Structure 1
Amino acid sequence: MPTHVYAERRARVCAALREAGGGIAVLPTAPERTRNADSEHPYRHDSAFYYLTGFSEPGAWLVLDATGRSLLLCRPKDEEREIWDGYRLGPEAAPGELGVDEALPLDALDTVLPQRLADRPAVWFPFGGCEGLGSRVEGWLAAVRARSHAGVEAPTQQRDLALLLDEQRLFKDAHEIALMRRAGEIGAAGHVRAMRASRPGLREYQLEAELLHEFRRSGGSGPAYNSIVAAGRNACILHYAAGNAELKAGELCLIDAGCEYGSYASDITRSFPVDGRYTAPQRALYELVLAAQEAAIAHTRPGARKMDSHWAAVRTLSAGLLDLGLLDRNTQGGVDDVVASAAYRRFYMHGTGHWLGLDVHDAGEYLALDEAPVEQPDGLGGIAIKKPSRRLQPGMVVTIEPGLYVRPAPDVPERYWHIGIRIEDDALVTPDGCELLSRGVPVQPDEIEALMRG
């Protein structure tokens, strides 16, 4: 993205700092992580840091001042290390390349921060997710306090930078939306490739390989999260990792996989027949989940609350579970009773969606913090008094992912045993409703069967 996009984001954070009373914001990127011995995990920068800089090298820090100034501290140029590890931008080139006001070598951090924090009212930094950062900040503050005899005052407040930054990240700009559309296209293409490759006798890891091939072939950096490829009864395990289970005729395969493109994620789930044709029980449950997703999509629009789509899906699923005999009207009652008692949670135990962006479970508050608490279902069969969910607005991106997971039980018709189905798409909230970014892979059962026959 152009450097001015990141400069505008930094300027908004600085303006928010001023509105909140001033101070200095400090944000590190993610550290490198050892995998084993002298091997490292593939490096992935911190999302919030990247959002404000577009800089993907490890070992960097960003310092923002309420006055509007930005400072980057990064690794210095080192010809010998660059032979082994690759090119480094270096502090001399950083202002011109990244648009920051100033850049210094990384080893200046512990000298510069006490200077920048002197006589400032607050220090802002992310409270969660940055191991050891709190202790580092305390060290800088101690250095400032040591100068109190010279009339220097240390910040009296430590505040969570996420309170300012997460709200900005929740609303995607045009550059982000373009990247997320492409991530959705590549993710969908991976699912199509896996469906076409599916046949009895393959292993889950072989379908996972099809996904990875398409993600990288099409320019993605790889999967946005650990791909779920679950054959047969494994689909009833929500976070199942692709293993070596065999795909069998007459069973379903559930794939929950997304591509990362330009650091932005897609998140897509499809449940398809291994041999290309749904059985009658599989189709009945699949069409019910699809109807629940359609109900949720209809409630994904500006002005609707975030949880409206969830409860629309829950009501649709509850009605279908009663109609199909998985829940008993004589003991569970009607739809209202099933929802109130949370009896549906036996088969549907997760939420219907989450924010999506640089992270798969992206930054952003889910509650309307400026509204009064109200009575509402707690999802466990009771009533809680808590803040309502926030209202959707254009620019938000959310997943829509209802599902059903049927495990064997004496009171459950055997024809539905071991069937796990989830259908998930990525939705951009628009002024008129929502745009599905991931429908490059079919979702209607007839279309899925036709694709697999082809």
Structure 2
Amino acid sequence: MKYLPIGKQLFIQNRAKFAEKMVPNSMAVFNSNDIYPISADSTLPFAQQRDIFYLSGVDQEESVLVIFPDCPKKENREILFLKETNEHIAVWEGEKLDKPKALETSGIATVYWLQDMQKVLFELMTQAEVVYINTNEHYRASIETETRDARFIKWLQEKYPAHTYKRCQPIIQRLRSIKEPQEIEMIQKACDITEKGFKRVLGFMKPGVMEYEVEAEFIHEFIRNRSAGFAYTPIIGSGYNACVLHYIENNQACNAGEVVLMDVGAEYANYASDMTRCVPVSGKFSERQKQVYNAVLSVKKAAAKLLVPGTIWADYHVEVGKLMTEELIGLGLITKEDVDKEDPNWPAYKKYFMHGTSHHMGLDTHDYGILTEPMVAGMVFTVEPGIYIPDENLGIRLEDDYVIQETGEPINLMKNIPIEIEDIEKWMAK
């Protein structure tokens, strides 16, 4: 890993919070992700399953975490199963966690090698009445491959059918949605790295550069600042491409007079940042581009103030829709008559602003969070309104990451990233 070591106290604290929510005489099991094959002997880069990382800090494959607060053997109340390392593995793959390093990383003293797991698990299953199993229940999840957790659950339930099984997700989603101060620090670090990348791009942008060249400037700056890379597939779209919400080809030229939309974010220690900025390829916005840009910025500023404890996500989006409606009328894109005749299920503003405004963010770019429950302090949300006008080859989206506070307005973790038109143009003129 490129990131600096994370203090084990965070993971000790996260496990304690999870254990507190478990029913008596129960245990929970979390698996690492697989390393996914491409073809021949090639594989995708390993990315750790976020729940086991959140609870242990272990960031390597073939790892299993067990939490069993009421286990009769005190030493088995927290267990890590790890792939046994040796000199051969160290030479070919690099150093893996041994037992002392696992303790240093996670705060878990009991570590068994993975080949002993079935034997140890048998003893644990004779003592536990309830088993928490881990599934992906994110509201946007679309899973076509069988995960390591899914294979384990199938095996466990076949071997131990008489146990009661419960889901980890109702607990883990609520816990992960509220960030500890140390987590906020890592998200802030990811945002700071994104800031460096964006400022680098402001000095690089000019007519004729390719979208993929802009992408390359970002990744250069990210990696040199201890990021593993992009937190999600970057969107670099100039002109009409900015109107394609999930445009990821990034293979066209940035032409004079166009505005380029850049939806990018660095990750740091598996924590995400999520930024969108729009800049004029030629260094100056046209008057029309300024009008649309300032309309989006106005909605963003007003929407951020609504991120306070007690707010319901769905109600929040209704209010943002009202803000956007007024701006679109002011731009001449819709009329009051359009609003009077609108379909309540697809309001008039949706013609030019068709996506949501905010989502949870943390270990995942679209992080865990139960959207039907009120917002609380410590949650991190994006705010990302946009206006897309294909007929004008113009798409504007602006996005920052905010931490909800107990009182007052949320804290903008990207407050140092230029966003005002004057600041963008000044940076580009340097």
Compared CA separation, residues 341 and 213, structure 1 to 2 (3 A): closer
Distance 1:444 1:108 in 2: 58
Residues 292, 314 of structure 1: 8 Å contact kept: no
Q: Where do 4+ consecutive residues of structure 1 move more than 4 Å?
A: 337-341
Q: Tell me the CA shift for residue 39 of structure 1.
A: 2.1
Distance 1:90 1:46 in 2: 20
Task: Please report the RMSD computed on the Cα atoms of aligned residues, expressed in angstroms.
Answer: 2.0
Alignment of 1:163-312 (within 5 A): 163-312=170-319
- The equivalent residue for 2:340 is 333
- The equivalent residue for 2:396 is 421
Distance 1:303 1:144 in 2: 42
Distance 1:251 1:142 in 2: 59
Please tell me whether residue 81 in structure 1 is matched to residue 89 in structure 2. yes
Distance 1:10 1:23 in 2: 14
Distance 1:237 1:7 in 2: 43
Please tell me whether residue 107 in structure 1 is matched to residue 115 in structure 2. yes
Distance 1:332 1:22 in 2: 57
Alignment of 1:432-451 (within 5 A): 432-451=408-427
Of stretches 122-131 and 312-321 in structure 1, the one that deviates more from structure 2 is 122-131
Q: What whole-Å deviation, never above 9, does each CA across 1:387-435 have from its counterpart, x for those lacking one?
A: xxx2x22111000000011123xxxxxxxx2211100000011222211
Tell me which amino acid in the other structure corresponds to 2:155: G
Please tell me whether residue 127 in structure 1 is matched to residue 123 in structure 2. no
Distance 1:303 1:93 in 2: 42
Flag structure 2 segments of 5+ consecutive residues without an equivalent. 1-5, 72-76, 137-142
Distance 1:268 1:419 in 2: 18
Distance 2:280 2:205 in 1: 9
Percent of pairs with identical residues: 29
Tell me which amino acid in the other structure corresponds to 1:362: D
Q: Tell me the CA shift for residue 203 of structure 1.
A: 0.2
Please tell me whether residue 90 in structure 1 is matched to residue 98 in structure 2. yes
Compared CA separation, residues 96 and 142, structure 1 to 2 (3 A): same
- The equivalent residue for 2:384 is 401
Q: Tell me the CA shift for residue 132 of structure 1.
A: 5.3
Q: Tell me the CA shift for residue 38 of structure 1.
A: 1.6
Distance 2:79 2:252 in 1: 51
Q: Tell me the CA shift for residue 302 of structure 1.
A: 2.5
Distance 1:67 1:122 in 2: 11
Distance 1:316 1:96 in 2: 50
Distance 1:144 1:332 in 2: 58
Distance 2:290 2:317 in 1: 22
Q: Tell me the CA shift for residue 23 of structure 1.
A: 1.4
Specify the structure having the higher radius of gyration (Cα).
1
Secondary structure of the residue aligned to 1:27 is strand
Q: Tell me the CA shift for residue 127 of structure 1.
A: 2.0
Please tell me whether residue 39 in structure 1 is matched to residue 46 in structure 2. no
Residues 110, 140 of structure 1: 8 Å contact kept: no
Secondary structure of the residue aligned to 2:367 is coil
Q: Tell me the CA shift for residue 21 of structure 1.
A: 4.1
Residues 115, 144 of structure 1: 8 Å contact kept: no
TM-score, scaled relative to structure 1: 0.86
Compared CA separation, residues 104 and 31, structure 1 to 2 (3 A): same
- The equivalent residue for 1:363 is 368
Distance 1:316 1:406 in 2: 18
Residues 58, 105 of structure 2: 8 Å contact kept: no
Distance 1:218 1:6 in 2: 24
- The equivalent residue for 1:62 is 65
Residues 207, 229 of structure 1: 8 Å contact kept: yes
- The equivalent residue for 1:413 is none
Distance 1:179 1:140 in 2: 35
Count residues in correspondence. 411
Distance 2:236 2:157 in 1: 48
Distance 1:41 1:302 in 2: 40
Tell me which amino acid in the other structure corresponds to 1:106: L
Secondary structure of the residue aligned to 2:284 is coil
Distance 1:134 1:216 in 2: 33
Distance 1:273 1:338 in 2: 35
Distance 2:298 2:45 in 1: 39
Q: What whole-Å deviation, never above 9, does each CA across 1:160-205 have from its counterpart, x for those lacking one?
A: 1111111111111111111111111111221121122110010000
Q: What whole-Å deviation, never above 9, does each CA across 1:238-262 have from its counterpart, x for those lacking one?
A: 1111422001111110000001112
Flag structure 1 segments of 5+ consecutive residues without an equivalent. 146-153, 369-389, 409-416
Distance 1:313 1:196 in 2: 33
Distance 2:364 2:319 in 1: 26
Compared CA separation, residues 141 and 340, structure 1 to 2 (3 A): closer
Compared CA separation, residues 48 and 136, structure 1 to 2 (3 A): closer
- The equivalent residue for 1:412 is none
- The equivalent residue for 1:384 is none
Tell me which amino acid in the other structure corresponds to 1:114: F
Q: Tell me the CA shift for residue 281 of structure 1.
A: 1.6
Secondary structure of the residue aligned to 1:62 is strand
Residues 235, 419 of structure 1: 8 Å contact kept: yes
Residues 114, 144 of structure 1: 8 Å contact kept: no
Tell me which amino acid in the other structure corresponds to 1:448: I
- The equivalent residue for 2:74 is none
Residues 58, 102 of structure 2: 8 Å contact kept: no
